[in-house]
Structure 1
Amino acid sequence: MKIIDKYILKRYLVTFSVMLIMFIPIGITIDVSEKVNKMIEKKIPLTDILVYYGDFTIYFANLLFPIFLFLSIIWFTSKLANNTEIIAILSSGISFSRFLRPFIYGAAIVSVFALIMGFFLVPKASKGFNDFRYQNLKGNNKTRETSDIFRQIKKDGKLEENIYVSNYNYLSQTGFNFTYERFYDNVLVEKVTANRIRYNEISKKYTLYNYNKRLIGEFDDRLLKSDKIDLTYNFEPDDLTPVVYVAETMTIGQLNSFINKERERGNGNINTYLVVFYKKFSLPVSAFILTIIAVAVSSMKRRGGMGVNLAIGIVIAFVFIFFDKVFGTLAEKSSIPPFIAVWLPNFVFGILAVYLLRNAKR
C-alpha cells in the first residue's frame, strides 16, 4: 500500500469515526432531555440507565450508519478538493480509478464491521433498547401488547394445530381469550379455551385459567374443566410477540432458524422476518455504493465550496434512507418479494454510482 493509499484510508476511517463520536452524543442528549422526567419519576437505577444508553449508542449508530458514512466521505473529500490535493494527485499521473482504490479499502473495512455488528451486536442492543423503553418510559405495559394473534403451530400431514389469543403482553408474558384447536384431515377433533394463559420461565409450561377442553368424538364429546392447570404446548412466547421486534433481536443464526420454522408453519407474516434478514446483508453492501457516490459528487472543486457538496450529500443520503424504508414497508404489507424490495435501493443507487463515477472521471 502506497503513501497516498494510507493517507486517504486514514482520513476515511478517522473522519467516519469522528462523525459517529460527534453525532451520537447529540442523539443521547436529545433522548435524555425527552425522558429525564420519567426516569426521575420512576426512580430508575443509574446502572440501568447506563446500560440503556450503551444499547442506544449501538442501535442509533446502526440506524443512521448510511448517513454518517456518506457525510463523512463528502466532508473530507471536499476538503481534499478545496485544497487542490485531488488535482495534484490526478496531475501526477494517477487515474481516477486508482485514486478511488483506498476509498474501496475503507468501505470494505466499514462493511465487515457493519456486518459483524448486524449479525451479533445490534440484535442484543435492539432488545435492551426496546425493553427499557417499553418497560420504563412508555407509561404502561399496554404498549407492548399485540392483538388478534393467530398462529399455526404444527402442520404434519393430515394433522394441524392452531392457536389464537385476543391480546398478548410481552412483558408479563400473558395472553387473554386463548384458543387451541387440533384438526385431523380438516376435521376438528380437539378444542381448548381459557380466559387467560401465562408462560412460566422456570417450568417452561403454560398456566391456563378457566380451562375448558372439548374432545370431539364420532358420536359424542367429552368435556374437561379446571379453574387452573399447567400444560406444555408446541409454541414459544416469542411466537406471540410483535413481529418486527422479534426479528430485530435475533442473531443471524437464530433468525435463519426462526424463519425456516415459521415458513413450515405457514406464517403469513414471513415477509417481515425476511426483510430484517436481507437488510443484515444489504446494509454493508450499501457502504461501497455510498462511498463511490460520495467521492464522485465531492471530488470536484465547486464555486460554493464544501457547503454545496454537503447539501447534495444530505439530499442523496436522505433519499436513499427514504427508498430503503418505503420498499421495506411495501415488502411487509404487499406482494413484493422481500429480496427485491430490500435490494432495489442498492440496485438503483448502484446505477447512479456508475453514472456519477463516469462523469467524475471525465
Structure 2
Amino acid sequence: MKILDWYILKRYLLTFLMMLLLFIPIGITVNLAEKIGKILEREVPFGAVAQYYLDFTIYFANLLYPIFLFISVIWFTSKLANNTEIVAFLSSGVSFWRFLRPYMIGATIIASFALIMGLYLAPNASKGFNEFKYKYLKRHVSVTQTTNIYRQINDNDYIYVSSYNPVTKRGINFTLEHFEGNELSYKISASSIIDNDSTYRLINYAKRTFGPVNDIIEKASRKDVDFEFDTDDLTPEDYIAETLQYGELVKFIEKEKRRGSSNIGRYEVVKHKKWSLPASVFILTIIAVSVSSIKRRGGMGVNLAFGITIAMVFVFFDKVFGVMAAQSSFSPIVAVWLPNAVFGLLAIYLLFNAKR
C-alpha cells in the first residue's frame, strides 16, 4: 500500500505546486501590466519593485491557495478516474477510506505550511506589499477622514477627536480627560490638534484642573504640548492587522479593546482566519476527492466546472461573512468559521455519497 500512498501523495503535492507556479506568474504579469505606468512615471527603484513582487507572490499565494488546492485535487483525481485507476484501486480490496488516507496526509502537509505562512510569513509580506502600494502607487490618493475617535491611551487618560485627517495630521474638537482613580483630575480641550512630529500644537487651548474648592482654568490661543500617544497608533491603517505576526496581533487586539477601537471586528477576523484557512484545506480536499473520484460522461471538464463553482461559492461566503463581522456587530468567530462548518457538512454528505 505504500506504493499507492506515495503515488497519490506525490501527485497531490506536485499538482498543487504546479498550480502555484502556473497562476502566480499570471497574477504578477497582470499586476505589473496595471502598475507599470505609475512605476515608470515615479521612477521606483528596481530593488523596491523586486521586493514588492516577492511580497506580492507570498501575499497572492496566501490569499488564493484554497482555490489552487481545490483545483489541483480535482484535476489529478479526475485524471485518475478517467483512466479507471480509482476503479482498479477499489477493486483490489482497498476501501474508500484507505484510498483517502494519502489525500489527508497531503492536506496535513499543505495545512501546516499554510499555518506557518499565515502566522509568520504572510504578515511580513503584507506589510511590504501595502507599504509599497501606499508609498509609490497611491501617494496622491486622498485618505478619508476618521471620525469620532475615542481612545483610552493609558490607565488614567482618555482622548476624543470628532474627526482626524491622516494626510494633514489634524484633528478637530480634541479632548483629553485625566483621571485619578474614579475622579476626574483635569481636562484639556482644543478646537483642533496638529501633529508636529515631536509635539502637538493645540489651537484654542483650554485646561481645567479640578480642585477641592476652586477649579484652575488655563487658556491660550495656541500651545505646544507633549503627549504620550501617537496619532498613527490612534488611527491605524485598515490593513495593520494583516501585517502583524500572531503574538503581536493578539497583543494589538487587546490594546485596541482597552482603547475602545471600532475596528475590533476587522482585527478579530484576521486573527481567526489564520486558523480557519488551514482547517479549510481538509474540507476542500474531501469535497474535491468526493466530486472528482467518480468517472462522469462529460469527463474532467464537468468535474472542474462543478468544483470551481463550489470553490467560488466558498470564497464568496467567506468574504461576505468577513465583511459583515468587520463592519457590524456580527460575531467574528462565527463569521470566520461558519463557511467551514457549512462546507464541512457538505463534505461529509459528498464523501458518503462517493463512498456508495
Give the alignment's TM-score, normalised by structure 2: 0.91
CA RMSD of aligned residues (A): 2.3
Q: Equivalent residue for 1:132?
A: 132
Tell whether the 8 Å contact from 1:259 to 1:274 is kept in structure 2 after alignment.
yes
Identical aligned residues as a percent = 51
Pair 1:76 & 2:76 matched: yes
In structure 1, what residue type is equivalent to 2:35?
K
Q: Deviations over 1:141-162 (max 9, x none)?
A: 524x542151322474xx5512
Tell whether the 8 Å contact from 2:241 to 2:267 is kept in structure 1 after alignment.
yes
Pair 1:189 & 2:183 matched: no
Counterparts of 1:37 and 1:209, CA distance in 2: 42
Q: SS where residue 300 of structure 1 aligns? A: coil
Counterparts of 1:3 and 1:360, CA distance in 2: 23
Counterparts of 1:68 and 1:323, CA distance in 2: 17
> Judging changes above 3 Å, is the alpha-carbon distance between structure 1 residues 47 and 117 closer, same or farther for their aligned structure 2 residues?
same
> Judging changes above 3 Å, is the alpha-carbon distance between structure 1 residues 100 and 131 closer, same or farther for their aligned structure 2 residues?
same
In structure 2, what residue type is equivalent to 1:182?
E
Pair 1:360 & 2:354 matched: yes
Q: 2:263 aligns with which of 254, 269, 277?
A: 269
Q: Equivalent residue for 2:94?
A: 94
Q: Equivalent residue for 2:233?
A: 238
Q: Equivalent residue for 1:22?
A: 22
Displacement after TM superposition at 1:263 (Å): 2.1
Counterparts of 2:12 and 2:223, CA distance in 1: 63
- Number of aligned residue pairs: give it: 352
In structure 2, what residue type is equivalent to 1:166?
S
Pair 1:323 & 2:320 matched: no
> Judging changes above 3 Å, is the alpha-carbon distance between structure 1 residues 236 and 174 closer, same or farther for their aligned structure 2 residues?
closer
Q: Equivalent residue for 2:114?
A: 114
Counterparts of 2:187 and 2:130, CA distance in 1: 38
Unaligned runs of 5+ in 2: none
Q: Equivalent residue for 1:214?
A: 207
Q: SS where residue 335 of structure 2 aligns? A: helix
Displacement after TM superposition at 1:343 (Å): 0.3
In structure 1, what residue type is equivalent to 2:208?
L
> Judging changes above 3 Å, is the alpha-carbon distance between structure 1 residues 153 and 225 closer, same or farther for their aligned structure 2 residues?
same
Q: Deviations over 1:252-296 (max 9, x none)?
A: 000001111222333333222111110110000000000000000
Tell whether the 8 Å contact from 1:181 to 1:192 is kept in structure 2 after alignment.
yes
Q: Equivalent residue for 2:174?
A: 179
Counterparts of 2:138 and 2:321, CA distance in 1: 29
Displacement after TM superposition at 1:63 (Å): 1.1
In structure 2, what residue type is equivalent to 1:357?
L
> Judging changes above 3 Å, is the alpha-carbon distance between structure 1 residues 141 and 211 closer, same or farther for their aligned structure 2 residues?
farther
Displacement after TM superposition at 1:194 (Å): 6.6
Counterparts of 2:17 and 2:73, CA distance in 1: 11
Q: 2:195 aligns with which of 181, 184, 198?
A: 198
> Judging changes above 3 Å, is the alpha-carbon distance between structure 1 residues 257 and 39 closer, same or farther for their aligned structure 2 residues?
same
Name whichever of 18-27 and 323-332 sits farther off: 323-332
Tell whether the 8 Å contact from 2:107 to 2:282 is kept in structure 1 after alignment.
yes
Unaligned runs of 5+ in 1: none
Tell whether the 8 Å contact from 2:146 to 2:235 is kept in structure 1 after alignment.
no
Tell whether the 8 Å contact from 1:194 to 1:208 is kept in structure 2 after alignment.
no
Tell whether the 8 Å contact from 1:211 to 1:229 is kept in structure 2 after alignment.
no
Tell whether the 8 Å contact from 1:168 to 1:241 is kept in structure 2 after alignment.
no
Name whichever of 322-331 and 333-342 sits farther off: 333-342
> Judging changes above 3 Å, is the alpha-carbon distance between structure 1 residues 335 and 186 closer, same or farther for their aligned structure 2 residues?
farther
Displacement after TM superposition at 1:210 (Å): 4.1
Q: SS where residue 64 of structure 1 aligns? A: helix
Name whichever of 221-230 and 340-349 sits farther off: 221-230
Pair 1:309 & 2:303 matched: yes
In structure 1, what residue type is equivalent to 2:296?
R
Q: Deviations over 1:304-359 (max 9, x none)?
A: 11100000011000000011011111112233211111100000000000000000
